[in-house]
Chain A
């Protein structure tokens, strides 16, 4: 009978991590629905980017207020989770504060003391974050795409943080032997008087309850990630690692187009020639109309996006009231990808056409055509997400598969094709400027 708590704890861990693993597998499967793109080059530069941008938060602090607050929550999150190790060992083996014996009072006290200070700082930061989101009228949190679930999701995460930090501090405050030892209780000893009126047994029950709820809360939070924008705490690392390293102005050249254009320009090419292997190849679709036409890095981008809206708040189209919001492009991509994933789950792992796609059902041409390709969104993203590449791939589909460019652009393109300039000027007049005053 005395092992029942240990068994319950083990089961809790297995269920918590097991369910999370299942969802991670789905996540990876969904990301792999994207087209292949080679990002295996320049590994040292990639590691440096990951260390600087994800681990070192270098792009976060470009906006100092939210940046510094975020660093506090981030450090708090990582450091306080060291405590998780002790909780797992204690839970599985029925020990209590097992590391205290290992590490010695001084070092253990230093660690727990640090955790407590961080927990308080996190609480303060989270309170400010909540105020920014709900009271301060910050424009990027009020965009149309933030209504409903995205808004609640953002607040849920903050409530989670508050509950977890409060449980951690309560657990320490009601741990009578820990308080009596007087090591590391830098903040929690202020809370002890709150429990003075309770019987010793009640205080112990509160301590146990807080301890169990704390670990349960962490496991619930872990499993909440998959359904939340908060996945960035994991995906920021691969996302910065695999991000584009080329100059931001360099757009991809479609290899399938190169093949056809070279054939067109080759005077010796036989336009009626059959493919060499005799089989008719299915012509590749140009551009993207659905998530499966995007590459896996773009899909990972969508899962990584934490909807902070720095992209949208710097987008010239959005700033001047156009419908385009780079954040919405990423959110739509993820929503559609998850829809495709659920479709596959319901149909034994294969996708059954649902008559929907990313284009039109989620992202409208009006949004796509408002983009100036200025790269402000790409520059702003704290984790190197590239909304512009998705916009461009979808424009390519509109133009090359559907001939659905705005009329003025069609005229411009015809001019380029016919006379080598965007306007209707004769190529033979290109040097006239040299003879004009």
Chain B
């Protein structure tokens, strides 16, 4: 897979259309890397000139900030901003709602002003501009439900673009009882991903996958690598991994288009 970096473009004296912010999960986590690659295939199919930061990319600092460590967050932020501003980046697309939120909302005050969009928003843009079409025959009539990532939904009021994409897939789409504004968290946010949960009577992802399973899905779609992990673990807990798959919307689009 050929992926150009900002440094490559810079050497050529050119600017890509977008910077694809891969994020730490998308770079290192085996499951999330599949989402990264699916999105790259979509970008290639739509002939989007994109670049990644590659080895120059570093954590946005989201997890450190939400743990309460403003120092590490701001060090990360200021380093990243210096890099992004150096490359004169205008538009950033990311598959990670946490990076999306941090880059979009928390970087401007520190000097980083970019147009930041989530990959579901960007793919929807591509479709609307006629640069990409989605084959609705491959996943036709599959039963699907969508889990709203908190940092996409409530945190930034992005509820529609993932649903618009789902409608393009030709699937049989059923909402969970708690969805959009009232969606239940998967349990990973606020740096919970990186620690054991506090004592309780259940893990949050178990409850959320239970809610998803109530819609009797074949596919649980989401738009966040961390939600993906949590929901996948939940499905295993409920011993439904043979019947239900957890997929990112980008993976579903890539699958529909046989990429």
Contact = CB atoms under 8 A, between A and B. Distances in A.
Interface in B68-127: 68-72, 74-79, 101, 104-106, 109-110
A314 B182 contact: yes
Interface string A327-371: 000000000000000000000000000000000000000100111
A429 B28 contact: yes
A40 interface: no
Interface string B125-161: 0000000000000000000000000110011110000
Interface in A390-437: 392, 395-400, 405-406, 408-409, 411-413, 416-417, 420-423, 425, 427-436
Interface in A253-277: 253-254, 257-258, 260-262, 264-265
Interface stretch (B11-19, B165-173, B194-202, B214-222): B194-202
Contacts of B255: none
Interface string A223-264: 000000000000000000000001111110110011011101
Contact of A420 (B58, B151, B194, B207): B58
B196 A408 contact: yes
Contacts of B101: 247, 249-250
Contacts, number: 223
A320 B74 CA distance: 33
Contacts of B187: 316, 372
B184 A319 contact: yes
Given A370-B197, A392-B66, A412 B191 contact: yes
A375 interface: yes
A248 B197 contact: no
A208 interface: no
A317 B189 CA distance: 11
Nearest to A428: B55
| Most central of B67, B187, B207 by chain A CB within 10 Å | B67
Contacts of A246: 105
Contacts of B200: 317, 320-322, 370
Contacts of B59: 416, 420-422
B204 A316 contact: yes
A247 B101 CA distance: 9
A251 B65 contact: yes
A72 interface: no
Contacts of B64: 412-413, 416-417
Contact of A433 (B36, B106, B181, B196): B36
Contact of B33 (A247, A369, A436): A436
Interface string A289-327: 000000000000000000000000010110111111000
B176 interface: no
Nearest to A261: B74
B32 to A, nearest CB: 9
Interface in B7-43: 22, 24, 26-29, 33, 36-37, 40
A376 interface: yes
A253 B181 contact: no
A145 interface: no
B55 A427 contact: yes
A374 interface: yes
Nearest to B67: A409
B63 A412 contact: yes
Q: Nearest 9 CB-CB pairs, A to B? A: A249-B155, A420-B58, A373-B190, A395-B68, A321-B201, A250-B105, A321-B200, A374-B185, A399-B68
5 contacts: A253-B70, A261-B71, A405-B68, A421-B27, A433-B37
B52 interface: yes
A interface, by DSSP: helix, strand, loop or mixed? Answer: helix
A324 B187 CA distance: 14
Contacts of A375: 150, 154-155
B164 interface: no
Contacts of B109: 253
Interface residues on B, range: 35 or more
A408 B198 CA distance: 13
Nearest to A414: B72
B197 A416 contact: no
Interface residues of A, number: 69
B203 interface: yes
Given A254-B70, A376-B150, 19 more contacts: A249-B151, A250-B105, A258-B110, A260-B71, A316-B185, A316-B207, A320-B207, A372-B189, A375-B150, A395-B67, A395-B68, A412-B194, A413-B63, A416-B63, A427-B55, A428-B55, A430-B27, A430-B28, A433-B22
A320 B81 CA distance: 38
Contacts of A262: 78
Contact of B68 (A249, A400, A408, A427): A400
Contacts of B29: 423
A320 B26 CA distance: 29
B3 interface: yes
A154 interface: no
A159 B68 CA distance: 44
B3 A374 contact: no
A379 interface: yes
Nearest to B151: A249
B190 A374 contact: yes
A286 interface: yes
B57 interface: yes
Given A253-B109, A398-B68, A413-B67, A431 B189 contact: no
A430 B67 contact: no
A372 B68 contact: no
A287 interface: yes
Contact of B67 (A320, A374, A405, A427): A405
B22 to A, nearest CB: 7
A236 to B, nearest CB: 20
A372 B204 contact: yes
B76 A372 contact: no
B192 interface: yes
B52 A431 contact: yes
A250 B104 CA distance: 9
A248 B154 contact: yes
B195 A408 contact: yes
A148 B156 CA distance: 39
B198 A317 contact: yes
Contacts of A380: 182
A243 to B, nearest CB: 15
